[in-house]
Amino acid sequence: MVTTTPVSSSASTATGTNSTAASQLAGNFDEFLQLLTTQLQNQDPTSPLDPNQFTQELVQFSSVEQQIQTNTSLTSLISLQQNAQTTSALNFIGHSVVLNGSVAQLSSGQATWNYAVTKPSTATINVSDSTGSVVYSTTQSVQPGQQTFTWNGQTNSGNLLTSGTYTIAIAATDTTGQTTAVSTQTQGTVSGVDVSQNPPNLIVNGQSYPLSQVLQIVN
């Protein structure tokens, strides 16, 4: 699934804003010159226009013009960066990735997650279906470091469930009964890119993940 929303919509808006500001500045500058010319033509010879004031106003106009040009350049750079991010994300399609997440695909009677704890713990693992109902639960002792949990698609009563996406939730406690932090990872094939997000998100196992959650490209 590839969403076709333009990635540069925000940049286009900024470009339009800068263009409008530049047009307004040009109009104001022309009006300023007309007023200045009229003032010079009708000034009191005994009390001429202060040249310092004239110079300060010209400097102010110049500073605003430079700021608008800087904003226009930054907008162009942002647009180029967004396009580069989209191109990079599209290259992930069809590749298998490991990423931070809790949703895995049950296929051919198997779904696999990785998880890690920081100390010896007892982990309670719950697997839920797409409706949020817990379909399988188990408890196991784990050591610090990376662990792999593979589920055969069966409920605790032995019923075999259909293929699809399932979510894991792990709660762990150490030997003193204190809660232990658990990080979970999942693996799947990138089936699409959602370019309506900034930066673009990858679609894996029917879920949307930002590029920052990708830990490894498997193939």
Q: And the tokens for 186?
A: 């999942």
Q: What is the DSSP string of 73-124?
A: HHHHHHHHHHHHHHHHHHTTTT-EEEEE-SEEEEBTTBEEEEEEESSSEEEE
Higher pLDDT, 18 or 67: 67
Look-up of token digits 């004031």: 53
Q: Where is 203: in which H helix or E strand?
A: strand 201-204
When mean pLDDT is compared across 78-82, 148-152, 160-164, 171-175, the lowest value belongs to: 78-82
pLDDT in tens, 64-109: 667 767 777 676 666 656 566 667 778 888 888 899 999 999 988 9
For residues 180-188, give the mean pLDDT. 92
Q: Return the pLDDT at 9.
A: 46
Query: How does residue 3 score in pLDDT terms, banded at 50, 70 and 90?
Result: very low
The C-alpha atoms of residue 128 and residue 131 are separated, in whole angstroms, by: 8
pLDDT in tens, 23-48: 565 556 666 667 666 766 666 666 66
- Contact between 36 and 111 under an 8 Å Cβ cutoff? The reply is no
- The 10 Å Cβ neighbour count of residue 37 is 10
Look-up of token digits 């032995």: 158
